[in-house]
């Protein structure tokens, strides 16, 4: 069997790494395609180094653009790749534009396609990622789900049960493999911080970053949070530009460029709390036992709320500050690890692909 893996954005890199290692141990022929959706070295190259991923066999170098432009460029390039490489199966990951573009081309060219992280739903179709999730799950013939609620979503939508395989959360495989090494780097020391003595912030969702009113409200909340605890903010390039355009950043905020995977994981693992609009961080903090405040009104990962450390606090400054103070006062949730978040999801994925 010849498998072609597709990655495009840094969450994809973390999830595909354990899968490729599991398949390599079984002697499966694999190729890795990077669409170039994330092309900044700090968002791409260093992740390959930290995760031990092989350099991509193919690179589409699509770069940035509107959703339509980016998706169209990926489709054009990927169509040619499929004609030339003729894989037996395509594997796509997550919910980014690369995921949708390549799943759509594979479906039209009748190449079987598997979706890792299938079945997640926020039920908010204003999110570009939600549109991608729904469409990719209709296109792919093998849906590899991270949690039982994802199976339920797919069955409710009429998906045949034989297309669904509950495999667990492969992001946790990457975390388990690298967290000790990440902590050993002690990345907090570079910023004069102590373990448990700081918060980590990430923002990248268009609904939070592209709307100046919302972004200003969030930055106002962070100003209040910083009076209670130092905040480390590794900023996505888009987010940094939006803050600069707004002309304000909370005083004393540790605004950093994007960090290497190991440095960011090390910071997260020893944080007092995390404030984020990321999906993956909701999952990682649940396993790490770090309180997580999600700056959104909905999540496609509800198991992190029902089982984990996650709370949905939206973008209202009062809710954010009140939830932060509750965490700092010791009023935190005790997490339970969801089923199959055990560091062995990649082996189950390899079984399903085999």
* Across 151-155, average pLDDT: 98
pLDDT over 70 at 283, yes or no:
yes
Write out the residue range of the structural domain in which residue 115 sits.
2-169+341-353
Cα(274)–Cα(260) distance, integer angstroms: 17
| Domain contains 346 | yes
| Domain contains 104 | yes
18 and 94 fall within a common domain: yes
pLDDT in tens, 197-208: 999 999 999 999
Cα(116)–Cα(323) distance, integer angstroms: 33
Query: What's the confidence (pLDDT) of residue 181?
Result: 97
pLDDT in tens, 230-243: 999 999 888 999 99
296 and 231 fall within a common domain: yes
Cα(239)–Cα(50) distance, integer angstroms: 24
232 and 324 fall within a common domain: yes
Cα(249)–Cα(24) distance, integer angstroms: 46
Here the tokens at position 195 are 């373990």
Q: In the chain, what are the helix, strand and coil shares in percent, each to the nearest 5? A: 50, 15, 35
181 and 163 fall within a common domain: no
Query: What's the confidence (pLDDT) of residue 11?
Result: 87
pLDDT over 80 at 42, yes or no:
no
165 and 181 fall within a common domain: no
pLDDT in tens, 159-186: 999 999 999 999 999 999 999 999 999 9
47 and 91 fall within a common domain: yes
Catalytic residues: 204
Q: What total number of domains does the chain contain?
A: 2
Q: Which CATH number characterizes residue 17's domain?
A: 3.40.50.2000
Of 3-7, 54-58, 101-105, 183-187, least confident by mean pLDDT is: 54-58
Query: What's the confidence (pLDDT) of residue 43?
Result: 52
Predicted TM-score (pTM) of the model is 0.94
pLDDT over 60 at 8, yes or no:
yes
């Amino acid at each position: 069997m010849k498998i072609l893996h597709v990655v495009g954005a840094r969450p994809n890199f973390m999830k595909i790494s354990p899968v490729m290692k599991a398949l390599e141990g079984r002697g499966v022929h694999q190729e890795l395609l990077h669409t170039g959706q994330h092309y900044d070295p700090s968002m791409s190259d260093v992740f390959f180094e930290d995760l031990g991923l092989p350099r991509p066999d193919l690179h589409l170098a699509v770069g940035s653009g509107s959703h339509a432009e980016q998706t169209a460029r990926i489709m054009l390039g990927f169509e040619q790749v499929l004609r030339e490489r003729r894989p037996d199966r395509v594997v796509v990951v997550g919910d980014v534009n690369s995921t949708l573009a390549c799943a759509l081309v594979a479906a039209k060219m009748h190449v079987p396609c598997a979706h890792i992280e299938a079945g997640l739903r926020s039920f908010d179709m204003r999110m570009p990622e939600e549109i991608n999730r729904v469409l990719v799950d209709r296109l792919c013939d093998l849906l590899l789900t991270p949690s039982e609620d994802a199976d339920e979503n797919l069955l409710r939508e009429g998906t045949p049960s034989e297309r669904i395989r509950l495999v667990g959360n492969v992001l946790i495989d990457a975390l388990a493999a690298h967290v000790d090494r990440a902590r050993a780097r002690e990345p907090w020391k570079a910023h004069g911080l102590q373990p448990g003595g700081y918060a980590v912030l990430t923002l990248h969702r268009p609904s939070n970053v592209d709307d100046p009113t919302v972004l200003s409200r969030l930055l106002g909340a962070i100003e209040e949070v910083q009076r209670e605890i130092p905040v480390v903010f590794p900023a996505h390039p888009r987010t940094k530009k939006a803050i600069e355009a707004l002309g304000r950043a909370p005083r004393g905020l540790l605004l950093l460029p994007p960090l290497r995977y190991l440095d960011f994981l090390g910071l997260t693992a020893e944080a007092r709390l995390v404030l984020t609009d990321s999906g993956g961080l909701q999952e990682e903090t649940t396993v790490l036992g770090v309180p997580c405040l999600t700056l959104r009104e909905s999540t496609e990962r509800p198991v992190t709320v029902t089982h984990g450390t996650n709370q949905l606090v939206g973008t209202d400054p009062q809710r954010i500050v009140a939830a932060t103070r509750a965490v700092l006062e010791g009023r935190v949730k005790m997490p339970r690890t969801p089923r199959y978040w055990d560091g062995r999801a990649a082996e189950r994925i390899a079984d399903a692909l085999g």
